[in-house]
Chains A and B, each alone.
Chain A
């Protein structure tokens, strides 16, 4: 197992859990209102869904954008710029949150009236809307903090925060809705957000924290943050637009009787939100490698994510094709005629889930490598344009089954169209990774679990590789090998009795120098510190080597040590 895979798999459960809890937190209020207040409660909360989606969009815009730019700058060893982005992200959250809160407050009466509902639903909607206003600021704040914590290699705090948020939202919403009605339900959500923010702030007192704030304000940076995440964040907006378009078309063409079947299809389509877990887990690693210009490792991590995205999409598709009644029972369809139709619809739509998983992956990946326009276009095409065009065309020709088939074909059609577009515009070589393969070929990576035998083996391989394959002088090859052996053995000494992984990158992409990047997941320890305590002959030699090497840097990122030497 490589260092990158080990780290990726450590981020994955937390990312998957965060995505699941995010989704469940979103539906918890609807379920609670529906159960306690009744149908009026469910109707009012459903009408609030577009507003909640818009707030989530703004939250993701600020959160994802800040975390991607922060991690990329840390990857470039530019801590000052990373701090500026972290600071500007905070200002962006405050500005977007305050503005959306103000706008939602101003349009509350008008917008609630425009939904065309009356009586108890309208009263409930207005009351919930009023109490929901603080969430317009709190949700972006919690998403911003969790994204930054994740990028800084602290998935445990993220998952703790989301579990606390989910549990608090459920518990307080039930308790307060029983006493206060709609206001209580919104108040429960507010309490959930406040507690999540409190848990996330614990990251700042951890030893591993690298997030710092600077005196900085720049409108341009806010724009960069929002632009960077637009593709990733907009998936919720396009998903909402697709569901709206489907509702309108199916009701107009096949009648209201098809709405229960459509609601099952919507449940299957919402799986795209779960598919965000795979790309989200790779974000800290990819952003750091992008910042370093280490295209070989970017490709390596993306390859792991591609395999997982395929496995996740295929497994879910297979599960739904074999057991469609699971999805059908979720929406409570009991009519035998509709159950049959719903099961057919689930089976057909499930066939497109692999395509949706890849869409989620490449949408995020292109966001991380600063191809945000392409990410936005892919999301728009896969989540809205292709399905709408296809379900109208297929629906007219094949009836309602054609609509479901169109939803299954649309992701593949959109991905195919994008592959064609990329080939035509940038050439086949760029498809779909946009990596500099010449630069990647000039990077050599070694992975190891620290042990004397493994360390000496890698040190010797590096020495031979530099001397024989790269034509380096003996002095330089020996110095590099010595540096590798001594630093890794010192890291091993610092982590006695603990399995420690390391990753060595030899980067020859700059013609006149060799960049040696040493990463390890041991205790936080700065190898380049010439004033570090010397407690062994090895530490003394490393300290002298650090004096001897003029260009060296250390920066902890995503929870592991990273040292870079120019030789």
Chain B
């Protein structure tokens, strides 16, 4: 899995490529450190596979952002990942762009 992260003026963009599974999720989780961030965009256009540990990272990020009064957006979500989000009912928690 490859992760690129940029932060400027409280806006964070994380570009992820590869699979987010049990073994790669800790790296993904570490990338979603949202301290001092008030707007986060997670680009998942390079992710075709995400298991429950990936979902958990997204949910924790969402919770942190809500507590900080910010918002989180998911960009370029592929169908397999969207299906998992839909299946679990978590789609409604995120804004998709």
Contacts and interface: CB of A to CB of B under 8 A. Distances in A.
Interface of A: 452-453, 455-456, 459-460, 463, 474-475, 478-479, 481-482, 485-486, 489, 537-538, 540-541, 544-545, 548
A485 B48 contact: no
A548 B56 CA distance: 20
Contact of A474 (B22, B52, B80): B80
A537 B55 contact: yes
A478 B79 CA distance: 10
B87 A545 contact: yes
Contacts of A463: 49
A300 B52 CA distance: 34
Contacts of B51: 482, 485-486, 489, 541
Nearest to A540: B88
Contacts of A541: 51-52, 55, 84, 87-88
B19 interface: yes
A540 B56 CA distance: 11
Contacts of A459: 21
B19 A460 contact: yes
Nearest to B21: A456
A549 B41 CA distance: 32
A181 B22 CA distance: 71
B79 A475 contact: yes
B48 A478 contact: yes
Nearest to A452: B22
Taking chain A's interface residues, is the majority helix, strand, or loop, or is none over half, making it mixed? helix
B59 interface: yes
Contact of B84 (A453, A455, A482): A482
A478 B78 CA distance: 11
Given A537-B55, A538-B53, 15 more contacts: A452-B23, A460-B19, A463-B49, A474-B48, A474-B79, A475-B79, A475-B83, A482-B49, A485-B22, A489-B51, A489-B52, A541-B84, A541-B87, A544-B88, A548-B87
Interface string B1-35: 00000000000000000010111100000000000
B80 A537 contact: no
A386 to B, nearest CB: 58
B93 to A, nearest CB: 13
Nearest to B49: A478
B48 to A, nearest CB: 6
Minimum-distance CB pairs A-B, first 8: A478-B80, A541-B52, A538-B52, A452-B22, A456-B23, A456-B21, A544-B87, A485-B51
Taking chain B's interface residues, is the majority helix, strand, or loop, or is none over half, making it mixed? helix
A545 B80 CA distance: 13
Contacts of B87: 541, 544-545, 548
Contacts of A453: 23
Nearest to B51: A485
Contacts of B59: 537
Interface string B50-77: 0111011001000000000000000000
Nearest to A485: B51
Contacts of A455: 22
B52 A486 contact: yes
A545 B52 CA distance: 11
Contacts of A544: 87-88
Contacts of B48: 474, 478
B49 A481 contact: yes
A481 B51 CA distance: 9
A485 B84 contact: no
Contact of A485 (B21, B80, B83, B88): B21
A404 to B, nearest CB: 63
A547 to B, nearest CB: 8
A456 B84 CA distance: 17
A453 B23 CA distance: 6
A97 B59 CA distance: 66
A485 B20 CA distance: 11
Contacts of A545: 87
A468 to B, nearest CB: 14
A537 B49 contact: no
Contacts of B55: 537, 541
A459 B52 CA distance: 14
B46 to A, nearest CB: 14
Nearest to B59: A537
B55 to A, nearest CB: 6
B49 A456 contact: no
B96 to A, nearest CB: 19
Contact of B22 (A456, A478, A540): A456
Nearest to B89: A544
